[in-house]
Amino acid sequence: MQAQTLTWDTHSGWSSPLPGPDDRDTLVLAFADTSIGAHPDQPLQHLSSVYAGKSVVGCSTAGQISGGALADGSLVAVIARFDRTQVLSASVEVEAAGGARRAGRQLGAALKHANLRGVFVLSDGLTVNGTSLATGISEMLPGVPISGGLAGDGERFDTTWVVADGQPRNGWVTAVGFVGDHVELDFGSAGGWDIFGPQRLVTRSYHSTLYELDDRSALTLYREYLGDKAGSLPAAALRFPLSLSDLDGHTTVRAVLGADIKTGSLRFAGDVAQGSLAQLMCASSERLIEGANRAAVMATTGREQLAIAVSCVGRRMVLGQRTEEELEAIVEGLAPNAVVAGLYSYGALSPTGGTCELHNQTMTITTISERSS
């Protein structure tokens, strides 16, 4: 296996010539600023054209990761060539499929293989319910580790896209599967957030929309905590994700993606179950940086050749000018020669307890290596 990264920006074009395709199975990942999807130079389409017939996937982001640094305003491409591994890919339009769960099932069916070792998924980050997507894929691929991320749009929350059929498309999901006895995938996911304030009951919700906590408007409660920053919703709310505990004590973290003034509700990246217990969360830069390093240590095998990092936009907002410190922290925790690339997202997918789950406000890392024998 060989992996390398290249970047493209509006001033310099490609950082180096794109390596020509060969007969090896090849994965091409493209993480880009949202505006690049409509750029007249069409770098995404160029990338897809050069690697026609290969597995080309990507998405818009809230920041591109290249090694231990941010690459804002650019496109970060990963070219990974496999010697002993088959790479499969599939894309599905969510609305045409009948919803996120069915889209996930279609993706899973398209990638199903007796020797499937793992799947990496990218999804539109604003129009797709990440919980339902994860459920659908897991139903079709029981026991197969699944990771990935939800596309971002900076702090704007206007539009997100994924690369499907060589084009940036809204409302789509795409995935790649790794087949063979020589490929190894490992995973790590950690947060660094702490709960604060009273525990509240989710008294009214529907899928990913939260209407009431303790019979009070969820939007009103968030506005009280945000104070002067309430005018910057939904972005401001990313600094205060919600910790949810179900009746079995299982805890998940959810991040706000939208607010509806008319209904007093908040829309999250995944389901907020009615009857669960909720508490707000906050974090310091130090805790987030420590969490990023923990995720890398969990994911490393000491021999990985590629590491795909999916962080969340809320972490970047808290870290501010210290954002690259969490990227340096993951590089420190990985194999010395690993190629590191990824994105700041609106959510991450990672295997938990044998099934794929949506995670918000985490650093989630997928490492990939290929044995030579």
pLDDT, tens digit, 9 for 90 and up, residues 250-297: 899 999 989 999 999 999 988 999 999 999 999 999 999 999 999 999
Pick from 217, 249, 281: which residue ends a domain? 281
One domain for residues 81 and 222: no
One domain for residues 45 and 183: yes
One domain for residues 185 and 201: no
Q: Is the pLDDT of residue 211 over 80?
A: yes
**Can you give 226-263 as a three-state secondary structure string?**
HHHHHHHCCHHHHHCCEEEECCCCCEEEECEEEEECCC
Q: Helix or strand or coil: residue 106?
A: helix
One domain for residues 186 and 117: yes
One domain for residues 126 and 244: no
Position 229 scores a pLDDT of 84
Does residue 234 have a cis bond before it (omega within 30 degrees)?
yes
One domain for residues 256 and 314: no
Could you report the per-residue pLDDT of 313-329, keeping only the tens digit for each?
999 999 999 999 999 99
Helices 100-111/130-140 angle, 10° precision: 30
pLDDT category, 49, cuts 50, 70, 90? very high
pLDDT category, 31, cuts 50, 70, 90? very high
Q: Rounded to an integer, what distance in angstroms lies between the CA atom of residue 4 and that of residue 233?
A: 38
One domain for residues 40 and 71: yes
Q: Is the pLDDT of residue 226 over 90?
A: no
Position 302 scores a pLDDT of 95
Domain that holds residue 200: 194-281
pLDDT category, 232, cuts 50, 70, 90? confident
Pick from 250, 281, 312: which residue ends a domain? 281
Q: Rounded to an integer, what distance in angstroms lies between the CA atom of residue 150 and that of residue 117?
A: 21
Q: Considering its fold, how many domains does the chain have in total?
A: 2
* Chain Cα centroid distance, residue 155: 15
Question: Could you tell me the two tokens for 298?
Answer: 């969990």
AA letter at 293: N
Q: Rounded to an integer, what distance in angstroms lies between the CA atom of residue 268 and that of residue 248?
A: 22
Position 228 scores a pLDDT of 84
pLDDT category, 216, cuts 50, 70, 90? very high
Write the CB contacts of 52 (distance below 8 Å, at least 6 apart in sequence).
166
User: Which residue in 324, 333, 321 sits closest to 71, CA to CA?
Assistant: 324
One domain for residues 186 and 249: no
**Can you give 25-82 as a three-state secondary structure string?**
EEEEEEEECHHHHHCCCCHHHHHHHHCCCCEEEEEECCCEEECCEECCCCEEEEEEEE
Average pLDDT over every residue of 160-188: 97
One domain for residues 134 and 239: no
Q: Rounded to an integer, what distance in angstroms lies between the CA atom of residue 251 and that of residue 199?
A: 13
Residue 153 backbone phi and psi in degrees, to 5? -145, 50
Q: Helix or strand or coil: residue 150?
A: strand
Q: Rounded to an integer, what distance in angstroms lies between the CA atom of residue 331 and that of residue 281?
A: 26
One domain for residues 138 and 201: no
One domain for residues 174 and 233: no
Pick from 244, 262, 281: which residue ends a domain? 281
One domain for residues 8 and 74: yes
Write the CB contacts of 252 (distance below 8 Å, at least 6 apart in sequence).
243, 244, 270, 357, 358, 359, 360
Decide: 108 and 135 in contact? Cβ < 8 Å.
Answer: no
Rounded to two decimals, the pTM is: 0.94
